[in-house]
Amino acid sequence: MPVTAANKEGWKPKIIAFCCNWCSYSGADLAGTNRLSYPAEVKIIRVPCSCRVNPLFILRAFQRGADGVILCGCHPGDCHYSTGNYHTRRRMTLLFSLLDYLGVEKERTRVEWVSAAEGQRFVDVMNSFVAEVTALGENRRLGDLRCKEN
Amino acid sequence: MLGESERRPMSTIYSYFPGCTLKNKARELDAQARGCARLLGIELEEIPEWQCCGGVYPLTTDEIAFRLSSVRALAEAARRGQKLVTVCSACHNVIKQVDHDMKAGAAIAEKANNYLAAEGVAYHGETQVIHYLELLRDEVGFDELKRRVVKPLAGQKVGAYYGCLLLRPSHVMAMDSAENPTIIENLLATLGADPVVYAQRNECCGGYLTLEDKSVPAKRARAILENARAQGAQTVVTACPLCFYNLKKQEEGTGVQVKYFTELLAEALGLDAKEGE
Amino acid sequence: MQKIGVFVCWCGSNIAATVDVKAVAEAARSVPGVVFSADYQYMCSQAGQTMITDAIREYGLTGVVVCSCSPRMHEATFRKAVQKVGLNPYMLEVANIREQCSWVHKDMAVGTEKAIMLMKAAVAKVQLNAPLEAGKSPVTKRALVIGGGIAGMQAALDIADAGYDVDIVEKNPSIGGKMAQLDKTFPTLDCSSCIVTPKMVEVGQHERIHIYSYSEIEEVKGFVGNFDVTIRRKARYVDETKCTGCGACMEKCPMKKVPNEFNQGLDTRSCIYIPFAQAVPKVATIDPNYCLKLNKGACGICSKVCAAGAINYEAKDELVTEKYGAIVAATGFEVIDVSKYDEYAYTQSPDVVTSLEYERLMNAAGPTGGHLKRPSDGKEPKTIVFVQCVGSRECCDPGKGELRGGKPYCSKVCCMYTAKHAMLTKDHYPDTDIYVFYIDVRTPGKNFDEFYRRAVEQYGVHYIKGAVGKVTPEGGKLKVQASDLILNEQLHIDADMVVLAAAIEPSPTARHLATMLTASMDTNDFFTEAHPKLRPVESPTAGVFLAGMCQGPKDIPETVAQAGAAAAKAIGLLAKNELVGNPCVAHSDEWMCNGCSQCETVCPYGAITYVDKEFKMPDRTVKIRRVAQVNEAVCQGCGACTVTCPSGAMDLKGFTNKEIMAEVDALCR
Amino acid sequence: MSAYKVTQEEVLAVSGVDPKKCMRCGKCSATCPAYDEMEYHPHEFVAMVEKGEIEKLAQSKSLYLCMTCMACIQRCPRQVEPAKLVEAVRAAVIRGKGATHLKPDALPDMLDPDLPQQAIVSAMRKYTR
């Protein structure tokens, strides 16, 4: 159901969550196992490590109409591949400030650390992220009109 | 703390909140504290037109009016860019907890600032609230204090009585460990006395219940003094006028003398009794 | 064009209650490329798997999407199934519509809509998937066990008995761990030393076990089957091969005031020491913190009295590197420091002790020779108060109170060892009055509750539902103020000793080790299991197994059972001649690679090397270019290189740029 | 205003306490210095507020025996803060009934020459509107 006007009653954002396979994806699974709920707008894409997330993926998501993109990885020091999340942290700091400069508000992008044991934390993070993006309304920057279905 | 000491020349002037009791029944506490500060090269500037802190911190989340006098004092100290020093344990407890509310309790801070907007006051937790004991420990430093001691209290066996208000709740007061405090013991050792550790030093004296019912404070005070005595203390020192009152009432027969910590400080620093007035 | 089949699982009502599975299957049919879709109650069942394989045969499917539980659960199951009928397993994708959809949403319409999107994203990915073949790597047939307590010893023995070499790395001078310090064990009251010391001897004498005592792990490299581990052998200043353990040095050592760790600091030992009589290896160690020779250049007596000439003051730490196929972590536990719980006066009176200290006071080999004497004046205590849950089961929100080192979990063993302490005390000193303050008495275990009831009914131990609020040392007594919640009273007991059941915490060394092993930990620093129910002795990091308290509080039989299970898993790994690797590894397009070396610098495994290679150019010339090459056996597939590559030459098989973008596109529709 | 009933919702909101976090260990009552004088003890405050039995607490003189020493707040292993419940019930009773526990007229009889001002202001804050 496409919605054109931001903040319209009942409007729901499109949110892409990249989760690393070892910590955050398991954390999301644990949230499910414990039946903790978070908004259905969050759609998770599994990647081996948060450092697999190419800035292009995030730009693509905004181009295709995402309203928020969040990256979740293991806590610093706990990366399954030792150092992947440090790369993520540095890359995304740069990318997010660039996006901010382009008019994609900082609240629409986030990096969070969620371990495999933190189902509750995953839910808390998603709830707050969805709330923030919902408050901002629809993302109008970077979106490619040709990608809209109607 | 190196950072603190580097800034010391700038911050030898402190805002001072004496509180109602120090202006009345506990005048000596006020006088000794000011006198000793003067000897140590510290200026305590009394906040003009300060209002009573209310004596006890409101544990309810929706009492705003009771917190306003503290916020006014905090805001005044913030305006002057000074740390806020208190001597009375009760004032310290109330102001420190209200300061914490203003930093952490968003709802309380907003309401309090709404009240005070009419007075042109706004406060968002800028002031650092320190007790006189912390002033001695962290600002002057016990090493420096030791050099200023002219008459060491050699041979005096002294127990610290912390009571409740200096320490609890410890994550807010952040002065010392709630169960195993050392600040007064270290002060006493600095002054040349033998500190005596006894378990009842952080148990309640009975507090304001004394107004209605003397039996509970009597029981509590006796237990405290007997424990101090049994562990070898001849003197017990406190920073709180109400503790002082409750303990003093039971002093007789226990063989322990109850004093303000400032009395020993004044003695060790050689503060002339008259100078203190 | 792929021919894709979509299979939607009900998971009984787990999925079907919140997701309209028929609607998902129906929606799949209109997705381009999908030629077949179906739904079924349990896709993971034999019948469900057959449904998939039949459809592959019948419709000639080239790709499969299963909408079911998390891929972490059954991806391997389904991949194995499709492989049987000749489909490459990496042509299958799982859409997680249970953990990440039906279980977290309540509304059917919402759940169904999301499930359809997840299905479409999976289909979009399969469209671009390519068959992958996994590489193979050899297995080093040698295991490393970290920690020489009962867990580590048992795991080492089991692996060694299966015919594999095992090294134990123990940070202390002797193996034996905490169990060697215990007096008796519950619920049988058999002597702890009598059962643990023969194990220590067995380990010490086993021809396939080598003990690195007084050693620590310095570095871990490699991966499952092929770990390279550097071990720091701390200088003990005594040549292990020469020392006979005669003890002459300990007798003559003039520095005898060193707190004795083995007795929890309740007495002292010499500076050169063998921690206890049954130590394995039974060789002396010089404590560098106290030695007069090492610190001041004086003394040197031990060297003079050592007939074997084993003393070497010049010794330095040594680094040893070994190869291992499997690693068992068995780093054990400590009890928390209770000095911040000083309402119990632990720092104020020596008669307030922790349970582990009490254990030493009861032990015949302990500082009092097994006579229960209180530390302050050596008198027999007549009244003893036991306090349960000191630091266990706490809320630890830093915004709501001072953190004192408390733990949110139940330490599990305290209820039982306290009953044991109470009974043993009553056995030896029947007229002792014993009070146990408890919140709940937790005794799930064979013969456990019977054991606790015996303490109450036969021994007359006073169990009081309540807490101790304050302990006041005064006049040689400990004045205990406590609550009795059943009688609704505040109690005041004059006790001679107070024993604190301090919470158990993982060894503080474990956190650093976990980082080196890239094994994950929970918020309490316990190692996490690969799956809490189905893979409880494996770490999520392949080749790393878990035994004992390092994974969570447990008693001795549970520890031994887990150690045996971890050993079985390690043996299963070591028994293989080669391991099938992860085919999802990085791959460089040599034509696009510009030879910048950026990927090489970010690779944590050193899997990327640069080679000079001849290229036949379109103009028929030959050009030598420097390009990246990935060693597929070493690459672990994190993908760091793919993002850092400026020319876009590096990609990750199974998670290619195009595949992930296709998922992004599908989810943004 | 005598018909005013203190409700559970009010007590929970005003105190900011979640009594469900209590694990019934009894630490608060073990540490309370006024225990013997109280009719309802700190752990009962927690249990009774959780159960909704506010009226009994509202009627009890236990409300005026808490000395705000904060020992139960400091030592509760579950961070429940029982004293805040005592305070919340007391505040609700005093506000709602418009009554004061302490009559200013009665004060002169209670004073002695050494009594610090602090005791009087504290009691007035605790016991009056």
Domain boundaries, chain C: 4-128, 142-227+319-332+507-580, 235-316, 334-505, 586-653
For the stretch B10-44, pLDDT in tens is 448 999 999 999 999 999 999 999 999 999 999 99
Per-residue pLDDT, C320: 97
Residue that the structure tokens 């080492």 belong to: C156
What are the chain C neighbours of A25 within 8 Å (beta carbons)? Answer: 70, 72
CB contact under 8 A, D119 and B208: yes
CATH number belonging to domain C235-316: 3.30.70
Touching, A vs D (3+ Cβ pairs under 8 A)? no
CB contact under 8 A, A48 and C540: no
- Same domain? For D110 and D63 the reply is no
Least Cα distance to B19 among B53, B68, B70 occurs for B53
**Is any Cβ of chain D less than 8 angstroms from the Cβ of B244?**
yes
Cα–Cα distance, A113 to A50 (Å, whole number):
10
Structure tokens that stand for C516 in this block: 């080196």
Per-residue pLDDT, D123: 83
Task: Classify residue B260 as left (phi > 0), alpha (psi -120 to 50) or beta.
Answer: beta
Would you tell me how many other CB atoms lie within 10 Å of the CB of residue D3? 6
Q: Is residue B187 within 8 Å of residue B142, measured between CB atoms?
A: yes
CB contact under 8 A, D74 and B170: yes
Per-residue pLDDT, A76: 87
Task: Please state, in angstroms and as integers, the Cα–Cα distance from residue C269 to each residue in C127, C179, C197, following that order.
Answer: 71, 20, 21
For the stretch C582-608, pLDDT in tens is 899 999 999 999 999 999 999 988 889
CB contact under 8 A, C393 and D24: no
Per-residue pLDDT, D97: 66
Which of helix, strand or coil describes residue C97? coil
Q: Which of A37, A66, A117 sits opposite C106 (nearest CB)?
A: A37
Q: Please provide the distance, in angstroms rounded to a whole number, between the alpha carbons at the two ends of chain D.
A: 14
CB contact under 8 A, B177 and C343: no
CB contact under 8 A, A64 and C664: yes
Structure tokens that stand for B145 in this block: 């204090």
Q: Which of B169, B216, B242 sits opposite D37 (nearest CB)?
A: B216
Per-residue pLDDT, D101: 74
Name residues 10-39 of chain D within 8 A of B (Cβ): 13-16, 33-34, 37
Per-residue pLDDT, B277: 45
Residue A4 predicted with pLDDT over 70: no
Task: Compare all CA atoms of chain B with the CA of D16 and give the residue at the minimum distance.
Answer: B61
The distance from CA C509 to its chain's CA centroid, rounded to whole angstroms, is: 12
Say if D48 falls within a structural domain: yes
Chains that touch C (3 or more CB pairs under 8 A): A, B, D
Mean pLDDT of C617-636: 90
Tell whether omega for the bond before C381 is within 30 degrees of 0, i.e. cis.
Answer: no
DSSP C311: B
Per-residue pLDDT, C519: 86
CB contact under 8 A, A52 and C652: yes
Domain C334-505, what architecture?
3-Layer(bba) Sandwich (3.50)
> What is the greatest pairwise CA distance in chain D?
46
User: In Å, how far is C121's CA from the nearest CA of chain D?
Assistant: 42
Cα–Cα distance, C354 to C358 (Å, whole number):
6
Cα–Cα distance, B241 to B243 (Å, whole number):
6
Per-residue pLDDT, B166: 96
Q: Which of residues A88 and B274 earns the better pLDDT score? A: A88
User: In Å, how far is B213's CA from the nearest CA of chain D?
Assistant: 9
What are the chain C neighbours of B227 within 8 Å (beta carbons)? Answer: 472, 474
- Indicate the length of chain D as a whole number: 129
Task: Classify residue D43 as left (phi > 0), alpha (psi -120 to 50) or beta.
Answer: alpha
- Substitution target in D20, D23, D31, D81 with the highest count of C β-carbons within 10 Å is D31
- Substitution target in D22, D24, D25, D74 with the highest count of C β-carbons within 10 Å is D25
Residue C450 CB partners (closer than 8 Å, separation 6+)? C187
**Helix pair A24-33, A119-136: axis angle to 10 deg:** 100
> What are the DSSP E strand ranges found in A9-90?
15-20, 42-47, 68-73
**Is any Cβ of chain C less than 8 angstroms from the Cβ of A145?**
no
SS3 per residue for B126-191: CCCEEEHHHHHHHHHHHHHHHHHCCCCCCCCEEEECCCCCCCCCHHHHCCCCCCCCCHHHHHHHHC
For the stretch C152-180, pLDDT in tens is 999 999 999 999 999 999 999 999 999 99
Touching, B vs A (3+ Cβ pairs under 8 A)? no
Count Cβ atoms within 10 A of the Cβ of residue C414 and give its class: 0-12 exposed, 13-18 middle, 19 or more buried: buried
For the stretch B131-170, pLDDT in tens is 999 999 999 999 999 999 999 999 999 999 999 999 999 9
User: In Å, how far is C128's CA from the nearest CA of chain D?
Assistant: 51
At D94, the pLDDT band (50, 70, 90 cuts) reads confident
What are the chain B neighbours of D35 within 8 Å (beta carbons)? Answer: none
Task: Compare all CA atoms of chain C with the CA of B229 and give the residue at the minimum distance.
Answer: C474
Q: Cα C316–C321–C326 angle (5° rounding)?
A: 135
Residue that the structure tokens 């418009």 belong to: D98
**Is any Cβ of chain D less than 8 angstroms from the Cβ of C486?**
no
Residue C128 predicted with pLDDT over 90: yes
Per-residue pLDDT, A3: 43
CB contact under 8 A, C347 and B180: yes
| DSSP track, C99-158 | IIIITT---HHHHHHHHHHHHHHHHHHHHH-------EEE---EEEEE--SHHHHHHHHH
For the stretch C540-564, pLDDT in tens is 888 999 999 999 999 999 999 999 9
The number of C-alpha atoms within 13 Å of B10 and in the hemisphere containing its C-beta is 9
Say if D74 falls within a structural domain: yes
Burial C285-309 (b: 16+ CB within 10 A, else e): bbbeebbebbeeeebebbbeebeee
The number of C-alpha atoms within 13 Å of A86 and in the hemisphere containing its C-beta is 10
**Is any Cβ of chain A less than 8 angstroms from the Cβ of C48?**
no
At A144, the pLDDT band (50, 70, 90 cuts) reads confident
| DSSP track, C184-222 | EETTTTEEHHHHHHHHHHHHHH-TTEEEETTEEEEEEEE
Q: Is residue C322 within 8 Å of residue C138, measured between CB atoms?
A: no
Provide, rounded to the nearest whole percent, the portion of chain B with pLDDT above 90: 86
- Substitution target in B61, B175, B177, B180 with the highest count of C β-carbons within 10 Å is B180
What are the chain C neighbours of A149 within 8 Å (beta carbons)? Answer: 669
**Helix pair C355-362, C414-428: axis angle to 10 deg:** 30
- Same domain? For D84 and D119 the reply is no
Q: Is pTM, for the whole model, over 0.95?
A: no
Per-residue pLDDT, C367: 95
Task: Compare all CA atoms of chain C with the CA of B224 and give the residue at the minimum distance.
Answer: C472
Say if D3 falls within a structural domain: no
Cα–Cα distance, C418 to C434 (Å, whole number):
11
Task: Compare all CA atoms of chain C with the CA of B167 and give the residue at the minimum distance.
Answer: C402
CATH number belonging to domain C586-653: 3.30.70.3270
- Substitution target in D32, D118, D124, D127 with the highest count of B β-carbons within 10 Å is D118
Cα–Cα distance, C406 to C408 (Å, whole number):
7
- Same domain? For D73 and D118 the reply is no
User: In Å, how far is A68's CA from the nearest CA of chain C?
Assistant: 11
Mean per-residue pLDDT over chain C, rounded: 95
Q: How many domains does chain D have?
A: 2
- Same domain? For D34 and D75 the reply is yes
Task: Compare all CA atoms of chain B with the CA of D32 and give the residue at the minimum distance.
Answer: B204
- Same domain? For D78 and D30 the reply is yes
Domains of chain B plus CATH, in order, are 2-131 (1.20.1050.140), 148-276 (3.40.50.1860)
Q: Is residue C467 within 8 Å of residue D25, measured between CB atoms?
A: yes
What are the chain C neighbours of D21 within 8 Å (beta carbons)? Answer: 395
Residue B189 predicted with pLDDT over 70: yes
**Is any Cβ of chain C less than 8 angstroms from the Cβ of A81?**
yes
According to CATH, the superfamily of the domain at C142-227+319-332+507-580 is: FAD/NAD(P)-binding domain (3.50.50.60)
The number of C-alpha atoms within 13 Å of D98 and in the hemisphere containing its C-beta is 4
- Same domain? For D19 and D66 the reply is yes
Structure tokens that stand for D108 in this block: 């002169």
What are the chain D neighbours of B244 within 8 Å (beta carbons)? Answer: 116
- Same domain? For D81 and D107 the reply is no
Task: Tell me the pairing of strands C504-506 and B157-160.
Answer: unpaired
Helix (H) / strand (E) containing C303: helix C301-305
CB contact under 8 A, B170 and C401: yes
Least Cα distance to C65 among C75, C80, C54, C50 occurs for C75
Least Cα distance to C615 among C592, C645, C644, C587 occurs for C592
Domains of chain A plus CATH, in order, are 15-144 (3.40.50)
CATH number belonging to domain C4-128: 3.40.50
Q: Which of C401, C402, C439 sits opposite D25 (nearest CB)?
A: C439
**Is any Cβ of chain D less than 8 angstroms from the Cβ of C488?**
yes
Say if D17 falls within a structural domain: yes
DSSP D65: T
User: In Å, how far is D25's CA from the nearest CA of chain C?
Assistant: 5
User: In Å, how far is D34's CA from the nearest CA of chain C?
Assistant: 10
Q: Is residue B159 within 8 Å of residue C321, measured between CB atoms?
A: no
The CATH number of the domain holding residue D32 is 1.10.1060.10
The size of the A-C interface in CB pairs under 8 A is 154
- Same domain? For D66 and D129 the reply is no
For the stretch C38-85, pLDDT in tens is 999 999 999 999 999 999 999 999 999 999 999 999 999 999 999 999
Residue B262 CB partners (closer than 8 Å, separation 6+)? B28, B29, B32, B33, B36, B87, B132
C142-227+319-332+507-580 matches C235-316 in fold: no
Touching, C vs B (3+ Cβ pairs under 8 A)? yes
User: In Å, how far is C472's CA from the nearest CA of chain D?
Assistant: 12
Q: Is residue C637 within 8 Å of residue C654, measured between CB atoms?
A: yes
SS3 per residue for C485-532: CCCCEEEEEEECEEEEEECEEECCCHHHHHHHHCCCECCCCCECCCEC
Give chain D's count of helices (H) and strands (E): 8, 0
Per-residue pLDDT, B52: 92
Residue C389 predicted with pLDDT over 50: yes
CA-based torsion, B199, B201, B207, B211: positive or negative: positive
Name residues 130-189 of chain C within 8 A of A (Cβ): none
Least Cα distance to B12 among B55, B45, B50 occurs for B45
- Same domain? For D62 and D115 the reply is no
Q: Which of A79, A91, A123 sits opposite C643 (nearest CB)?
A: A91
What are the chain C neighbours of B230 within 8 Å (beta carbons)? Answer: 474-475
User: In Å, how far is B180's CA from the nearest CA of chain C?
Assistant: 6
Q: Which of C96, C514, C638 sits opposite A52 (nearest CB)?
A: C638
* Identity of the amino acid at C9: C
In terms of residue numbers, what domain contains D40?
A: 8-98
Say if D116 falls within a structural domain: yes
The size of the B-C interface in CB pairs under 8 A is 44
- Indicate the length of chain A as a whole number: 150
